[in-house]
Amino acid sequence: MHTNRAPLFCDTALAARIERVEAQLVTLAARAAHRRNDGRGFVIPVAGGVASFAEADSPFNKVAGLGFADVPDAAALDEIERAFAACDTPVQVELPHLADPAIGALLTDRGYRLESFENVLGRALPGEPDPVAPPGITVRRSGDDEFDTWLDLAADAVAHPDTQGVPWHEEFPREVYVRAERDMAAAGVLRYAALHVGVLAGGAGLRIAEGVAQFAGAATALAHRRHGIQAALLSARLVPAERAAPRLRPALHPRRAGQAALNAPRPR
């Protein structure tokens, strides 16, 4: 990769665009789940963001995109909390750290508590990236003909997370994870496959919208870890993002520049 790349500064305008794209993905994936479930679930616009319930235990059951429009009023939060309570699901708000601080204070006053904080890297997109090609590893787009195989690999990999670092606070049943991946495909997420000495060993997703390249997850099979597959998947997905650079502004990946998850102690 280029070593003389200028650092990316994430101001509130860029953060707002990233959150807007994230809310779009949550909305599209949730609506795909609703189509599978005879319309059950909800997507409720709220203060520039969205409150979404896709299905039980789904990773798309959340409030996303708040912080860069109005501060939600009590009536809007009451509606959202009642909707989640009707689905027997606690409210989880993903709030970017550049959001209006009044929202965090409002949620705290309503009994929400901070559960986790996520901080990930971003980069601008000028120029063609230098490829990363570890020995024996190739990366290509993954088509519908191997979707089931790709899903099995990804689900198995997620079921065996790395033990290094701080563990992630969310876990999802295998069948829910597989359905969520199908819903993301319906939302326009492209799939990539990594092969290690000719064997399918890793998978990853990419969605490009509004100048943001969303790196929508990546997983490596347990038997093929520590061979550079994640680096290869990262490099391969940067290529289409870089090629789209004339119509894109800076990109962040894999999710937000920084965000906190605040959970209500129980649905209201």
For 25-92, what is the HEC assignment? HHHHHHHHHHHHCCCCCEEEEECCEEEEECCCCCCCCEEECCCCCCCCCHHHHHHHHHHHHHCCCCCE
Tally of structural domains, the chain: 2
pLDDT per residue over 23-68, tens digit each?
999 999 999 999 999 999 999 999 999 999 999 999 999 999 999 9
Are residue 110 and residue 175 in the same domain, yes or no?
A: no
Residue 183: the pLDDT is 97
Are residue 74 and residue 51 in the same domain, yes or no?
A: yes
Residue 1: the pLDDT is 47
State the Rg of the chain over Cα.
19
Are residue 66 and residue 152 in the same domain, yes or no?
A: no
Q: Answer positive or negative: Cα dihedral of 103, 105, 108, 113.
A: positive
Residue 245: the pLDDT is 54
Residue 268: the pLDDT is 42
In a domain, 131, yes or no: no
Are residue 19 and residue 88 in the same domain, yes or no?
A: yes
In a domain, 86, yes or no: yes
The CATH number that applies at residue 207 is 3.40.630.30
In a domain, 218, yes or no: yes
Stated pTM of the model: 0.88
Are residue 206 and residue 150 in the same domain, yes or no?
A: yes
Are residue 248 and residue 259 in the same domain, yes or no?
A: no
CB 91 within 8 A of CB 202: no
Are residue 202 and residue 241 in the same domain, yes or no?
A: yes
Q: 212 lies in which domain range? A: 137-252
In a domain, 25, yes or no: yes
Per the listing, tokens 């198995």 go with: 156
In a domain, 130, yes or no: no
Are residue 220 and residue 240 in the same domain, yes or no?
A: yes
Residue 147: the pLDDT is 98
Segments of the chain scoring below 70 in pLDDT = 1-7, 120-121, 126-129, 165-169, 245-262, 264-268
In a domain, 125, yes or no: no
Are residue 164 and residue 199 in the same domain, yes or no?
A: yes
In a domain, 268, yes or no: no
Residue 168: the pLDDT is 66
Are residue 92 and residue 165 in the same domain, yes or no?
A: no
Are residue 90 and residue 23 in the same domain, yes or no?
A: yes
Are residue 21 and residue 72 in the same domain, yes or no?
A: yes
In a domain, 78, yes or no: yes
